[in-house]
């Protein structure tokens, strides 16, 4: 039988490249924001994300304004 579907890759929200989820978690390269888990390709992206996670995710008011004004 076929096992569970394996969806192992997530996209790094900072640089947009696919990241192997388990590897990133094993290295501590992840954050949980608003109940969602995000993983990163490396410490650089992780640090950038920690500095302004909501802006990078487009969750803050300014980003929403920008989007609405397009």
By CB under 5 A, name the binding residues for Zn ion. 12, 14-15, 41, 45
- Residues 6 or more apart whose CB falls under 8 angstroms from that of 18 comprise 9, 10, 11, 12
Q: Which two tokens stand for residue 41?
A: 């390709």
Nearer residue to Zn ion within complex by CB, 40 or 62: 40
Instruction: Report the SS3 class of residue 6.
Output: coil
As measured in angstroms, the least distance from the Cβ of 27 to Zn ion is: 13
As measured in angstroms, the least distance from the Cβ of 26 to Zn ion is: 16
As measured in angstroms, the least distance from the Cβ of 52 to Zn ion is: 15
Nearer residue to Zn ion within complex by CB, 44 or 66: 44
CA distance 44 to 58: 19
């Amino acid at each position: 039988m076929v096992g569970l579907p394996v969806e192992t890759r997530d996209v790094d929200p900072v640089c947009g490249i696919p990241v192997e989820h388990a590897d990133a978690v094993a290295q501590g390269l992840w954050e949980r924001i608003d109940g969602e888990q995000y993983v990163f390709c490396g410490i650089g992206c992780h640090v950038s994300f920690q500095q302004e996670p909501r802006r990078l995710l487009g969750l803050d008011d300014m980003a929403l304004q920008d989007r609405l004004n397009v």
